[in-house]
Amino acid sequence: LEQALSQDGLPQEYFDWGNQLLRRLDKPVQVMVIGQPGSGKSAVIDMMLGQSVISRHADAPIIEVCYGPEDCVEVETRDGNTSRHLGTLAQISPSPETVRMRQELPDTRLLSHSFVEISLTGSAEQSHITLQRAARHADVILWCSETFGPAEQQLWAAVPDEKKDHSFLVLTMADRQIMRGTLTSLLAGLDGFAAEEFLGVYPLAAVQAITAQTAEQT
């Protein structure tokens, strides 16, 4: 694409489109991991990273995970001040004034994709606004929920269709549903809605997956 754009005589319209596409291809795919507090979002990201990086203790409205030369956390507070700390989010206790935390990791996989964790807190209207803003910037959306009930379904229904085409429903803490004997009926109940609203539905026991990945033995 770079070579094609360097040629003379390319119509301006196609040159502009090509430049826009090139800029997009140079950026990591942004994976938004969205859900209500306690829905297992951090565990899902940790599972995909193959290590406990965020942990359930790192609570902030927005948590970013991206590539960096070393393990480092940037913390932004409501007054706009930022501070940087060596280590991972699992080692940091954020203040109530924290609005954003950015985890940098020397993991080359993060050169091609980054994660953004979004917690839907407050009223239904506030959650709707947060979700719509997040969806505008997302390339892929993972909606994390234990049961994906009617309130969450209503929130998700308002997401633009072009974003739903790149979205997945992750039913977290599936081990609990299995122990209760409710996972099969839950999947059956969501089948019609999820088939229209998501590319796929994935029951996931992320904590057990992290344990398996980090165990000393295969």
Quick: pLDDT tens for 173-194: 999 889 999 999 999 999 888 8
pLDDT class for 195, splitting at 50, 70, 90? confident
Q: Is 27 exposed, middle or buried (0-12, 13-18, 19+ CB in 10 A)?
A: exposed
pLDDT class for 75, splitting at 50, 70, 90? very high
Mean of the per-residue pLDDT values of the chain? 89
Residues above pLDDT 90, as percent of the chain: 59
Residue 66 has pLDDT above 90, yes or no: yes
Q: Let me know: does 22 contact 180? Beta carbons within 8 Å.
A: no
The predicted pLDDT at position 132 comes to 93
Phi, psi angle pair for 73, to nearest 5°: -120, 130
Residue 218 has pLDDT above 70, yes or no: no
Round to whole Å and give the CA distance between 125 and 132.
11
What does the pLDDT average to over 75-102? Answer: 88
The predicted pLDDT at position 41 comes to 93
The predicted model scores a pTM of 0.84
